[in-house]
Amino acid sequence: MEVAPIVQPITTQADLAVRSTPRAETLTPEPSSAEPSTASTAKTTPVQIVLIVLGTIAFLYFARPVILPIFLACVAAMTLKPLIRWLSVCHIPPALSAAVVLFLLVSGLIMGGIQFGRPAMVWLNEAPQHMTDLRQRVQKFLPPGARFSEAAAAVNNLGATEAEKQEEQKNAPTVQVKDNRGSTSVLNWTGTFLAGVGETFVLLYLLLASGDLFLQKLVRVMPTLTNKKSAVEISHEIQQNISNYLFSVSLINIGLGLVVSGGLYFMGVPNAPVWGILVAVLNFVPYFGPVAGVLLLACVGLLTFDTLGRGLWPPAWYLLLHLLESNLVTPVLLGRRFTLNPVVIFVSLIFWTWIWGVPGALLSVPILVSMKVICDRVPAMSAVSELLSR
Q: Which of 306, 336, 366 is the last residue of a domain?
A: 336
Residues 332 and 360 in one domain: no
Average pLDDT over residues 40-44: 55
Residues 386 and 317 in one domain: no
* 86 found inside a domain: yes
Q: For position 155, what pLDDT does the model report?
A: 44
Q: For residue range 329-339, list pLDDT tens digits in order.
A: 887 777 655 67
Q: For position 22, what pLDDT does the model report?
A: 45
Residues 324 and 343 in one domain: no
Q: For position 357, what pLDDT does the model report?
A: 87
Average pLDDT over residues 347-357: 89
Percent of the chain with pLDDT over 70: 71
Q: For position 320, what pLDDT does the model report?
A: 93
Q: Which of 298, 313, 336 is the last residue of a domain?
A: 336
* 7 found inside a domain: no
Q: For position 186, what pLDDT does the model report?
A: 58
User: Poorest-confidence range of 8-12, 54-58, 115-119?
Assistant: 8-12
Average pLDDT over residues 97-111: 88
Domain that holds residue 363: 339-390
- Residue type at position 382: S
User: Poorest-confidence range of 141-145, 152-156, 239-243, 372-376?
Assistant: 152-156
Q: Which of 311, 336, 361 is the last residue of a domain?
A: 336
Residues 263 and 373 in one domain: no
Residue 380 has pLDDT above 90, yes or no: no
Average pLDDT over residues 142-160: 50
- Provide CB contacts within 8 A for 64, sequence distance 6+: 355, 356
Q: For position 9, what pLDDT does the model report?
A: 46
Q: Are 222 and 228 in contact (CB under 8 A)?
A: yes
Residues 274 and 329 in one domain: yes
Residues 365 and 259 in one domain: no
Residues 76 and 120 in one domain: yes
Residues 104 and 70 in one domain: yes
Residues 257 and 331 in one domain: yes
* 377 found inside a domain: yes
User: Poorest-confidence range of 83-92, 134-143, 174-183, 304-313?
Assistant: 174-183
* 274 found inside a domain: yes
Looking at beta carbons, which pairs linking 98-102 to residues 24 or more positions away fall under 8 Å?
98/205, 98/208, 98/209, 99/205, 99/209, 101/208, 102/201, 102/204, 102/205, 102/208
Q: How far from chain centre, in Å, is Cα 66?
A: 16
Q: For position 154, what pLDDT does the model report?
A: 47
Task: For residue 184, count other CB atoms closer than 10 A to its CB.
Answer: 10
* 189 found inside a domain: no
* 6 found inside a domain: no
Residues 314 and 253 in one domain: yes
Q: For residue range 72-98, list pLDDT tens digits in order.
A: 988 888 888 888 888 888 888 888 888
Q: Per residue, what are the HEC states of the chain?
A: CCHHHHHHHHHHHHHHHHHHHHHHHHHCHHHHHHHHHHHHHHCCCHHHHHHHHHHHHHHHHHCHHHHHHHHHHHHHHHHHHHHHHHHHHCCCCHHHHHHHHHHHHHHHHHHHHHHHHHHHHHHHHCHHHHHHHHHHHHHHHCHHHHHHHHHHHHHHCCCCCHHHHHHHHHHCCCCCCCCCCHHHHHHHHHHHHHHHHHHHHHHHHHHHHHCCHHHHHHHHHCCCHHHHHHHHHHHHHHHHHHHHHHHHHHHHHHHHHHHHHHHHHHHCCCCHHHHHHHHHHHCCCCCHHHHHHHHHHHHHHHHHCCCHHHHCHHHHHHHHHHHHHHHHHHHHHHCCCCCECHHHHHHHHHHHHHHHCHHHHHHHHHHHHHHHHHHHHCHHHHHHHHHHEC
Q: For residue range 181-231, list pLDDT tens digits in order.
A: 555 665 666 777 778 888 888 998 988 888 777 777 767 777 777 777 777
Q: Are 368 and 388 in contact (CB under 8 A)?
A: yes
Q: For position 151, what pLDDT does the model report?
A: 47
Total domains, the chain: 3
- Residue type at position 345: I
Identify the CA nearest to 280 among candidates 302, 301, 249: 249
Residue 317 has pLDDT above 90, yes or no: yes
Task: Report CA torsion sign: 102, 103, 107, 108.
Answer: negative
Residue 23 has pLDDT above 50, yes or no: no
Residues 114 and 70 in one domain: yes
Q: For position 141, what pLDDT does the model report?
A: 63
Q: Terminus-to-terminus CA distance in the chain, angstroms?
A: 89
* 145 found inside a domain: no
CA distance 290 to 278: 11
* 268 found inside a domain: yes
Residues 87 and 202 in one domain: yes
- Provide CB contacts within 8 A for 123, sequence distance 6+: 130, 271, 274
Identify the CA nearest to 288 among candidates 239, 234, 352: 352
171: pLDDT confidence band, cut at 50, 70 and 90?
low
